[in-house]
Amino acid sequence: MKYHILYNPYAGNKSGKKAVDELKEILKGDELEPLDLTVLDMKDFIGKIPEDESVIVCGGDGTLNHLANAFDGDVPDRKIYYYPSGTGNDFANDIKDERLDNGLYEIRKYLINLPSVTVNGQEFLFLNGIGYGIDGYCCEVGDKQKTKSDKPVNYTSIAINGLLFHYKPTEATVVVDGKEHKYHKTWLCPTMKGRFYGGGMMMCPNQKRDDPDGKVTVAAIYGCGKVKTLTVFPTIFKGEHIKHTEMVDMISGKDITVTFNRPVALQVDGETVLGVTTYTVHA
């Protein structure tokens, strides 16, 4: 079998090419062709691969986001494999039960019928979720740290410092399928296609990636001060924050608009967008 390994050298804190060496060990005996996907037209390249050859995409959630948007819903009818080599790998965590014996995931079905988000006049597809609030702030700060150091970014530390000292909560208006909800002192207001984002946070534990109606879930964490919010924050990693119904609200739907009363950073599958006052999701 011939595999075209499309790797992202910038994934995993610029260690993305290590995935190629790992696959050489895993797929001994097969013919492998490593290619830097950042210099390829991925839709065109994958569409032209012969039927008796396979493609493996290596990278993290941001890499998959770029792949999904490159296809824009028009995904070639062929097997597409994924080998996680990012920092957070939230997508792989969400479908970990589908991991093949060789460590690969078959992902074509997850690249079609994706929700879209419109933000600052641009539209993007997304696989995991939209982070808006302190999660977007964490990506903003993390991006700045990456320009100064090659050390791994500790997003949990950024979030804790943001909660205690730097990030100020907002007033939020959320409209889900035409119904309006108002939230005071809003810390987080993401919309999720999967359960995980932010490197293992189970923000929406009841969200189904393969929801038969295609619904997504918007989550609001709101109404409490720094200490209470900081106490509840670690429980997100196990999805136990949803027990705190006095400050956590989960609403599923297909058309969602979230508006804050001041501009903050937003992230789409880990990719940062600055200065956002509103976003709209269509599932």
pLDDT value, residue 90: 95
Statement: residue 150 has pLDDT above 80:
no
Identify the H or E element spanning 68: helix 61-71
pLDDT value, residue 15: 85
Q: How far apart are CA 201 and CA 59, in angstroms?
A: 19
Tokens of 104: 């690969």
Q: How far apart are CA 181 and CA 248, in angstroms?
A: 13
pLDDT value, residue 251: 98
**Confidence band of 172 (pLDDT split at 50, 70, 90):** very high
pLDDT value, residue 67: 95
Do the domains 116-282 and 2-111 match in fold? no
What do you get for the CA distance between the two ends of the chain, in Å?
Answer: 37
Tokens of 259: 């508006």
Statement: residue 153 has pLDDT above 90:
no
pLDDT value, residue 123: 96
- Write the pLDDT tens digit of every residue in 29-43: 999 999 999 999 999
Burial class, 197, CB count within 10 angstroms (exposed 0-12 / middle 13-18 / buried 19+) = buried
Q: What is the topology classification, in CATH, of domain 116-282?
A: Tumour Suppressor Smad4 (2.60.200)
- Write the pLDDT tens digit of every residue in 101-144: 999 999 999 999 999 999 999 999 999 999 999 999 999 998 89
Find tokens 């011939």 and name the residue.
2
- Write the pLDDT tens digit of every residue in 226-283: 999 999 999 999 999 999 999 999 999 999 999 999 999 999 998 899 999 999 999 9
- Write the pLDDT tens digit of every residue in 177-223: 999 999 999 999 999 999 999 889 999 999 999 999 999 999 999 99
Query: Alpha helix (H) ranges present in the chain?
Result: 11-14, 18-26, 42-48, 61-71, 90-94, 134-148, 155-161, 226-232
- Write the pLDDT tens digit of every residue in 6-55: 999 999 888 889 999 999 999 999 999 999 999 999 999 999 999 899 99
All structural domains of the chain with their residue ranges: 2-111, 116-282
CB 223 within 8 A of CB 259: no
For 2-111, which CATH superfamily applies?
Probable inorganic polyphosphate/atp-NAD kinase; domain 1 (3.40.50.10330)
- pTM surpassing 0.85? yes
pLDDT value, residue 256: 98
CB 7 within 8 A of CB 58: yes
